[in-house]
Chain A
Amino acid sequence: RKEVEQDPGPFNVPEGATVAFNCTYSNSASQSFFWYRQDCRKEPKLLMSVYSSGNEDGRFTAQLNRASQYISLLIRDSKLSDSATYLCVVNNGSNYQLIWGAGTKLIIKP
């Protein structure tokens, strides 16, 4: 089993729709969780950190489920500019290494 697993997609979603995807992780000792966004042929950029209580930033909501060891990302009222690959990132237990998922590709269509 991979340490961090994501559905590679692509998710083809009409503009304005709501889309959600999950990411599962294997290390129960992981403490830090992030969603990064990566545009084609660009470097990753932080979208949001994921807190135990869940957090929301505008149209984006992230949640953590420790019992089932997954994090989720929900995007409401999707925009064409949301088209990107979304990378799930989890720290490797108590140390500084971040384990990166392979990403979920999202395509928003007009």
Chain B
Amino acid sequence: GAGVSQSPSNKVTEKGKDVELRCDPISGHTALYWYRQRLGQGLEFLIYFQGNSAPDKSGLPSDRFSAERTGESVSTLTIQRTQQEDSAVYLCASTRSWGNEQFFGPGTRLTVL
């Protein structure tokens, strides 16, 4: 079956612009995570969605970051007024429920000039 997909695969933007990243999880996976990975670093938790429950946004680094998910389907991560320090790979993962194996998408490589 299809895995987790993310788009775009690469995004180059100018400082101050807004960007929107998309994640399509595996069908039937109720949980969805967004992570950020800077070069040579581990994964930094951003936000977690579980079904129709309120998302855990505790990892979002600033109010410029927001994410939405409709039911158990597509999720979008929006970064407003991008800064150079936002440059990283943004990874999305889905799982049947928390504590289980996370399946990752290929990531979106964001470069802010």
Contact = CB atoms under 8 A, between A and B. Distances in A.
Q: Do A and B bind each other?
A: yes
B67 to A, nearest CB: 15
A92 B93 CA distance: 17
B101 interface: yes
A102 interface: yes
B101 A46 contact: yes
Contact of A97 (B40, B56, B101, B106): B56
Nearest to B50: A96
B62 interface: no
A36 to B, nearest CB: 8
Q: Interface residue tally of chain B, by bracket? A: 20 to 34
Interface residues of A, number: 21
Nearest to A2: B42
Contacts of B35: 100
Residue picked from B50, B59, B102, most chain A C-beta under 10 Å: B102
A101 B42 contact: yes
Interface of B: 31, 33, 35, 40-45, 48, 50, 56, 59, 91, 98-99, 101-102, 104-107
Given A34-B101, A97-B48, 19 more contacts: A43-B91, A43-B105, A43-B107, A44-B91, A44-B104, A45-B104, A46-B102, A91-B98, A91-B99, A96-B50, A96-B56, A96-B99, A98-B33, A98-B102, A99-B45, A100-B43, A100-B44, A102-B40, A102-B41
* In the A-B complex, the 9 residue pairs with the closest CB atoms: A96-B98, A43-B104, A102-B42, A100-B43, A100-B42, A46-B101, A32-B99, A101-B42, A43-B106
